[in-house]
């Protein structure tokens, strides 16, 4: 088959894909906090009990409307996350076994120069995370981590409010 014919078939196939593609629709991100776990995210620590606080900060400088226009606004989300984690000496499938429990305290503050100058937002306990399964393999050149997390809707949520400390839903997360 000639190169010209191959290009024609490729262009035809690409055109069919574009023709039958449904419009993209957005959906909620769920409970995953982007960039919250740091560089050692794929590693399980040595056996022991761990207590700590992880500080999560997220800043937004503008909000886009449904037609793509931007609204100058400032949204700050701050969440100190209390955590308890344990890694046992038990081995499962050759991996160290651990579990963890996280309680985020959500503080959201929203300001904009087109609304009254009083900032508004939400503050309180957010949705609690429980990770009953963490499996960590330590290899010579890399660590591998598998985890299953369940997020419980313990934070305040109301569908008629813009700012909530929780998402109002159960969520499952798998990590590898």
pLDDT, tens only, 35-82: 555 556 677 888 999 888 887 777 777 777 677 777 777 777 777 788
Residue 14 maps to a domain: no
Q: Mean pLDDT across the stretch 76-104?
A: 86
Supply the pTM of this predicted model.
Answer: 0.63
Residue 43 maps to a domain: yes
Question: For residue 47, what are the domain limits?
Answer: 29-175
Residue 10 maps to a domain: no
Residue 51 maps to a domain: yes
Residue 65 maps to a domain: yes
| Best CA proximity match to 90, nearest among 133, 130, 42 | 133
| Best CA proximity match to 31, nearest among 13, 56, 48, 51 | 56
Residue 18 maps to a domain: no
pLDDT at 77: 73
Domain count, the chain: 1
| Best CA proximity match to 83, nearest among 119, 129, 55, 52 | 52
Residue 134 maps to a domain: yes
Question: In angstroms, rounded to a whole number, what is the distance separating the alpha carbons of residues 48 and 121?
Answer: 38
Residue 3 maps to a domain: no
pLDDT at 45: 84
């Amino acid at each position: 088959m000639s190169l010209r014919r191959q290009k024609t078939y490729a262009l035809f196939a690409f055109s069919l894909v574009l023709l039958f593609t449904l419009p993209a629709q957005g959906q909620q991100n769920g409970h995953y906090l982007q960039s919250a776990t740091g560089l050692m995210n794929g590693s399980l620590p040595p056996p022991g009990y761990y207590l700590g606080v992880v500080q999560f900060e997220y800043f937004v400088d503008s909000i886009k409307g449904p037609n793509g226009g931007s609204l100058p606004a400032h949204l700050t989300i701050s969440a100190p996350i209390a955590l308890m984690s344990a890694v046992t000496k038990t081995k499962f499938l050759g991996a160290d076994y651990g579990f963890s429990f996280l309680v985020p305290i959500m503080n959201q503050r929203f300001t904009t120069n087109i609304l009254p100058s009083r900032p508004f937002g939400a503050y309180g306990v957010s949705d609690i995370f429980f990770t009953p399964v963490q499996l960590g393999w330590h290899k010579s050149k890399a660590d591998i981590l598998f985890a299953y997390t369940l997020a419980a809707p313990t934070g305040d949520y109301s569908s008629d409010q813009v700012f909530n400390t929780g998402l109002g839903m159960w969520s499952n997360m798998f990590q590898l």
